[in-house]
Homo-oligomer: A and B are copies of this chain.
Amino acid sequence: MKSRVTSQQVAEHAGVSRTTVSFILNNVPGVKFPQETKDRVFQAAQHLGYVPDDAARTLASGQTQTLGLVICHAEHLKVDAFISHVLYSLNETSRQHGFRLLTESVEDVTQPDAYTGLVHAKKIDGLVVVNPRSDDTQLPKLIEQGFPIVLIGSLRHPQEYSINHVGSTRKAVEHLVSLGHERIAHLTFAPPEHYTGASNRLTGFRKALESAHLPFDDDLVAYGNYSAESGYAAMKGLLKRHKPTAIFCGNDTIAVGALAAIHEKGLQVPQDIAVVGVDDIPMAAFTIPPLTTVKTHALEQGRLAGEMLFSLIRSQAPQVAQVRLEAELVVRKSCGASLLVKR
């Protein structure tokens, strides 16, 4: 199990030097070899089954051709689909650029070396961080040092490069308000302190209520994590104590749990309670009833993060440092907005 073929052997086989092999196989710009020489080298490489040793190449060139994906709340991978989508599209994007993807899930992000080791060991050329935590002390340093990093989410750091969706909360609440709802509950992530996305959403929720001249009622806010289970539990509590006419869920997975709790209680969606989610995961179209939600374009976020990161790696400043993707209301049946909606 050893690919004992070195560029030296290819060079000998082709009757040229290692430099020539390196230049030809790497297609170094600005160096012209006769087609005949090129062919000899290509054939020799092919014939011998030559594959450049990655470590040697990296050591010599200083480039790893590898991206890191840091997942700050790894357990979300188990319960929610958002991160899988980001992973998928980032993987595709990386491949298109000839890069590989190193996935790093993080338990305790406050601990130094959580993932900075990747950077300092020069194992990656750039980093995408999903849902960065505000109590992460290493990340700001890395950003300030100019290491290529793109966040999916935000640290509210002036120098950060990031991808975020905007308008999801506003659109969800506006939709509910437009349908006449006045007692709108909110089921979001806890604890929100360290997770920028969640506190954003809560703030946005208050603002949206305000815009609609609706009072904010603390009792109508419940917390879960990203899972259906937490949505179920939180919704159960909410139904026991209060009687909202609508519920805005922090993500679709939570909404699935809420739907289950509502159904179990013998209530009807949307007749008794309207439900809105966030993300538009593939399953959202197949809940009972189909879930009205706000699409956050997870795949697109992953792709954009990748493209932005490649700009950074090539030392090209991206046109926009902080991309905001407008979220998109997807009306299905869980709010009763219309009986003629797409699945």
A187-240: which residues lie under 8 A (CB-CB) from chain B? Answer: 227-229, 231-232
Across-interface contacts of A178 in B (CB, < 8 A)? none
Whether B285 contacts A259 by the Cβ 8 Å rule is: no
Question: B95, A105: Cβ atoms under 8 Å?
Answer: yes
CB distance from A232 to the nearest CB of B (A): 6
State the Cβ distance, A47 to closest chain B Cβ, in Å. Answer: 15
| A260 beta carbon closer than 8 Å to chain B | yes
Min CB distance, A323 to chain B, in Å?
A: 21
Flag whether A53 is at the interface (Cβ < 8 A). Answer: yes
Asked if B100 and A100 sit within 8 Å, CB to CB, the answer is no
Contact yes or no, A288 B285, CB < 8 A: no
Residues of B contacting A260 in the complex (Cβ-Cβ under 8 angstroms): 285-288, 290
A122 CB-CB contact with B under 8 Å: yes
| Contact partner, A146, options B1, B92, B287, B290, Cβ 8 Å | B1
Q: Which of B51, B88, B256 contacts A78 (CB 8 A)?
A: B88
Find the B residue at minimum CB distance from A69. Answer: B103
- Alpha-carbon separation in the docked complex, A87 to B84 (Å): 10
Q: Does A257 contact B (CB under 8 A)?
A: yes
Bound-state CA distance A104–B91 (Å) is: 7
**When the two chains form the complex, which single residue of B58, B100, B117 contacts A55, counting CB atoms closer than 8 Å?**
B58
Contacts of A85 in B (CB 8 A): 77-78
The distance from the CB of A81 to the nearest CB of chain B, in whole angstroms, is 7
Q: A282 touching B64 by the CB < 8 A rule?
A: no
Closest residue on chain B to residue A92 by CB atoms: B105
List, in ascending order, chain B residues with CB within 8 A of A343's CB.
Answer: 232
Q: For A288, list chain B residues within 8 Å (CB).
A: 259-260, 263, 287-288
Closest CB of chain B to A105's CB: distance in Å? 5
C-alpha spacing A95/B286, complex, angstroms: 36
Does A101 have its Cβ within 8 Å of any Cβ on chain B?
A: yes
Among the listed B1, B84, B227, B256, which residue makes an inter-chain contact with A145, where contact means beta carbons less than 8 Å apart?
B1
- Contact A283 B228, beta carbon cutoff 8 Å: yes
Assuming the contacts A59-B55, A78-B84, A104-B100, asked whether A122 and B282 have C-beta atoms less than 8 A apart, the reply is no
If A95-B105, A102-B101, A228-B286 touch, whether A53 touches B87 (CB-CB below 8 Å) is no
C-alpha spacing A285/B87, complex, angstroms = 25
Rounded to whole angstroms, the CA-CA distance of A314 and B120 in the bound complex is: 27
Nearest-Cβ distance from residue A306 to partner chain B, whole angstroms: 13
CA gap between A123 and B65 in the complex, in Å: 11
- Chain B hits for A285, CB < 8 A: 228-229, 260
12 CB contacts below 8 A, A to B, read: A1-B146, A53-B121, A55-B123, A56-B59, A228-B286, A229-B285, A232-B343, A256-B287, A259-B288, A260-B285, A260-B286, A260-B290
Interface residues of A (CB under 8 A from B): 1, 3, 49, 51-56, 58-59, 64, 66, 69, 74-75, 77-79, 81, 83-85, 87-88, 91-92, 95, 100-105, 117-118, 120-123, 145-147, 227-229, 231-232, 253, 256-257, 259-260, 263, 282-283, 285-288, 290, 299, 343
